[in-house]
Amino acid sequence: MATQSPVRGRILDTAAFLFYSEGIRAVSADRIIADAHTTKVTFYRHFRTKEDLVVAYLQDQSARVRAAAGQLSADPCTGLLQLAEAMGAEACVPGFRGCPFINAAAEYPDAGSPVRGVVRDHRQWLHTEVSGRIAQLGAARPGDVADQLLMLRDGAMVHGYVADPAGVSASLISAGRAILAAAAP
């Protein structure tokens, strides 16, 4: 893998902060260029369009999540618990604005857009990760149980943003355990 240039990294870091804190469509390419202390020529050398930058931002977010998931326990139950704890803790951090993938999907309604493609790929990876662990626990329909847990996770992400995040982690874990108990062999 080629090393990312410092300028490209600075543009991407600036965009990630602004996209997450203010919304993707609310932030112009000119704003990113100014805040990243670069020029339009340099910006467009690295990203042909703002949409290319959004795709790179989401791919970077997905890579970070995947790297964190690689640190989870191999034990399926412990790994799922660690995942829920991490998601619940994330929802309690100052500046939390929900899931960047859900946010991006809301801002890009065209299912055929490259942005939605990255969202879809990330969601499929997450579903595979969760359903694989559920299958290891012996649940009869791991894909269906994963759907339920991911809907619960999505609700927790939204709740953590629009409501008081206190208790999100404990509620997410409690509800997730109930779903897993109902699916137990």
Mean pLDDT, range 100-120, rounded to an integer: 97
Torsion of CA 87, 111, 58, 162, to 10 degrees: -40
Model confidence band, residue 2 (pLDDT cutoffs 50, 70, 90): low
With a pLDDT cut of 90, the percent of the chain lying above it is: 78
For residues 70 and 165, the model is more confident at 70
Question: In the chain, what are the domains?
Answer: 1-48 (1.10.10.60), 51-183 (1.10.357.10)
What six digits make up the tokens of 5?
A: 């240039």
pLDDT of res. 28: 97
b/e 122-132 (16+ beta carbons within 10 angstroms → b): bbeebbebbbe
User: Given phi > 0 = left and psi -120 to 50 = alpha, else beta, which region is 5?
Assistant: beta
Taking only the tens place, the pLDDT of each residue in 119-164 is 999 999 999 999 999 999 999 899 999 999 999 999 988 888 888 7
Asked if 44 and 7 count as a contact pair (C-beta separation under 8 A), the reply is no
pLDDT of res. 26: 97
